């Protein structure tokens, strides 16, 4: 008997192909690269974290640009082609070096030591001016201080437990929650003390050039519109609760994820100072650096230091994620950075590029104006 048989058509979805691709049965990595996600990539990130290359606080299982940069750094350290893609050779080398890089101590050197020093510097424990990549007595002392602070065995060696705790501790404090918004709605025709308050503040900021009358007319409305445009609010010309609080510097735009903020800032250390710069590809001036990092959080800030100062909420002492301001030339705020804890802030300095400095440094201490929250 003859049976008419046709081969069954199999449709492979992209998800199914990815699953096949990401989970080989021979223990090899195949090719992992930007855009992929799987439990195996989470294990990859953990391996890179243990060696000090992956500095994001948690292993996510998603292969993004942070993972790509960590892979490139590892590949460079073991003299593999720097592609940012985890092929079989890279994966094998990661597994091969797991034991040797699980613990760093005096005499160790390489990129993993640089990452360790950078993280300890972010936390305020490593005070040597340069990131050297050599694990000497100063690095060991920094590790001991950290271990003592976090109640780990004080060995001076960066073992797996210490490295994991360092990653967890990069950001430990959160900004305080803001007060509820006040109900307010000032528009053309409004009068009273609130209108005078708004006009006074707009005049201080250079938006309102007429006499302070307490009457909300078209001149006041146009000044409000210009302010709203500059701080990326809808330009209605009406002072609602959000506009009022931004104008008076009383409320943050939205909740800030300080963990991601500091992690993003750490990736930019060493970027050059460029007047007017606001991208990693070109470089940053001090306000461009801050605007770029806050924009990654979905938070829009004005472009100049003086304008950023004018819309922030003053705080008596800074917490991680607050912006600290300095008077370096003319009267008023002219330089700023992001506070990262332990009396340290990260900023783009004209002579240093993106770097970490101490509020206790004699230069910055003498010029410190205060801190504000956003």
Across the chain, the runs of DSSP E, i.e. the strands, are 278-279, 283-284, 313-315, 323-326, 335-341, 344-349, 353-358, 368-373
For residue 317, give the DSSP letter. Answer: S
CA–CA gap between residue 157 and residue 139 (Å, rounded): 9
Residue 25 annotated among the catalytic residues of the structure? no
Say how far apart CA 355 and CA 349 lie, in whole Å.
7
- Of the candidates 114, 335, 372, 373, the residue annotated as catalytic is 335
Inter-residue contact 97 to 108 (CB < 8 Å): no
Asked if 372 is an active-site residue, the reply is no
DSSP of 145-175: HHHHHTT----S-B-HHHHHHHHHHSS---P
Query: Which is catalytic among the residues 169, 256, 286, 356?
Result: 286
Residue 286 annotated among the catalytic residues of the structure: yes
Instruction: Please state the separation of Cα 307 from the chain's center in Å.
Output: 21
CA 365 vs. chain centroid, Å, equals 24
CB 158 within 8 A of CB 105: yes
Catalytic residues: 286, 335, 347
């Amino acid at each position: 008997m003859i049976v008419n048989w046709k081969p069954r058509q199999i449709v492979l979805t992209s998800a199914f192909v990815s699953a096949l691709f990401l989970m080989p049965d021979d223990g090899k990595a195949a090719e992992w690269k930007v855009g992929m996600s799987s439990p195996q990539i989470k294990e990859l990130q953990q391996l890179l974290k243990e060696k000090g290359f992956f500095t994001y606080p948690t292993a996510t299982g998603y292969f993004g640009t942070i993972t790509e940069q960590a892979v490139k750094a590892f590949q460079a350290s073991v003299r593999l082609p720097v592609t940012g893609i985890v092929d079989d050779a890279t994966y094998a080398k990661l597994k091969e070096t797991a034991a040797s890089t699980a613990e760093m101590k005096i005499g160790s050197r390489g990129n993993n030591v640089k990452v360790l020093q950078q993280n300890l510097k972010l936390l305020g424990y490593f005070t040597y001016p340069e990131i050297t990549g050599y694990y000497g007595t100063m690095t060991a002392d920094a590790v001991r201080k950290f271990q003592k602070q976090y109640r780990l065995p004080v060995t001076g060696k960066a073992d797996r437990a210490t490295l994991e705790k360092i990653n967890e501790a990069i950001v430990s404090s959160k900004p305080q929650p803001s007060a509820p918004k006040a109900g307010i709605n000032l528009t053309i025709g409004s009068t009273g003390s609130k209108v005078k308050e708004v006009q006074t503040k707009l005049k201080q900021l250079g938006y309102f050039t007429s006499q302070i009358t307490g009457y909300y007319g078209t001149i006041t409305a146009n000044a409000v519109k210009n302010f709203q445009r500059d701080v990326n609010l809808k330009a209605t010309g009406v002072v609602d609760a959000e506009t009022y609080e931004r104008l008076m510097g009383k409320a943050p735009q939205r909740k800030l994820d300080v963990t991601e903020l500091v992690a993003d800032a750490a990736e930019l250390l060493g970027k050059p100072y460029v007047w007017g710069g606001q991208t990693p590809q070109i470089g940053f001036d001090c306000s461009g650096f801050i605007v770029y990092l806050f924009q990654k959080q979905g938070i829009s800030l004005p472009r100049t230091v003086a304008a950023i100062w004018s819309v922030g909420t003053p705080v008596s002492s800074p917490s991680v994620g607050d912006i600290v301001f300095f008077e370096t030339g003319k009267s008023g705020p002219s330089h700023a950075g992001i506070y990262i804890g332990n009396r340290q802030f990260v900023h783009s300095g004209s002579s240093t590029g993106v770097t970490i400095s101490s509020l206790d440094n004699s230069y910055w201490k003498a010029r410190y104006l205060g801190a504000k929250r956003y």
